[in-house]
Amino acid sequence: MKKFAIILGVLVVLGVLVLLLIMAAGVNYNHLVKLSQAVDSQWAQVQNVYQRRADLIPNLVATVSGAANFEKSTLTEITAARASVGQAKIDPNTAPTDPAKLAAFDQAQSQLSSALSRLLVVVERYPDLKATENFRDLQAQLEGTENRISVERRDFNAAVQAYDTAIKSFPELLYAGAFGFHEKPYFAATAGAETPPKVQFDFNKTAPAATNH
């Protein structure tokens, strides 16, 4: 009888320990779910600001194309860059887990940034655009959007860092992979990435004469 009581006591203790482990695992699992959802939520914000910029470009192109002798090749370049962004398909609501897909998306956006910057440099040769209210409004919207892109990319990387750190920490690392929690990629830092492209037009300076093409 005494032996049976000892065995029963051991089983009860083991049962309690198992229950505590299950409860702890459940808490940690919920924590990982919360971190993963935070990454997805921040990714949606990133997509929103990039889409906002893409939506502004047709209006920008329409506005500057009305200027006499405007460089058509520049308009073609930015239109093509915007189209390439649309081809870099990534789920807008779920953060990518494939670094290659995120890199392709980032490259397409970088090409669009470069094309946009070149377009805005060319625009400075056309002082008549300064009288266009729509152009000035676009200038302000683009500047604000570029700033938001920088902020949202930074916040996305911070969310990814918190998530990736969690799945690599004990005890989550013991079961994270089994439950489908895998490492998520960051936006790669590039030279000058901490400073958004400057959208500024100095119309007080005398602009050189436009070159006919």
Domains of the chain, start order: 33-213 (1.20.1440.20)
What's the pLDDT tens digit per position in 73-129? 888 999 999 999 988 878 888 999 999 999 999 999 999 999 998 888 888 888 777
> What's the first-to-final CA gap in the chain, in angstroms?
103
**Which residue has better confidence, 72 or 41?**
41
pLDDT at 209: 43
Residue 118 and residue 77: Cα distance in Å, rounded? 9
What's the pLDDT tens digit per position in 142-165? 989 999 999 999 999 999 999 999
pLDDT band at 51 (very low <50, low <70, confident <90, very high): very high
The proportion of the chain whose per-residue pLDDT surpasses 70, expressed as a percent, equals 77
Upper half-sphere CA count for residue 82 (Cβ side, 13 Å): 19
pTM: predicted TM-score of the whole model, two decimal places: 0.78
In the numeric block, the tokens 């998520």 are attached to 184
Mean pLDDT of the residues in the chain: 82
Residue 84 and residue 106: Cα distance in Å, rounded? 11
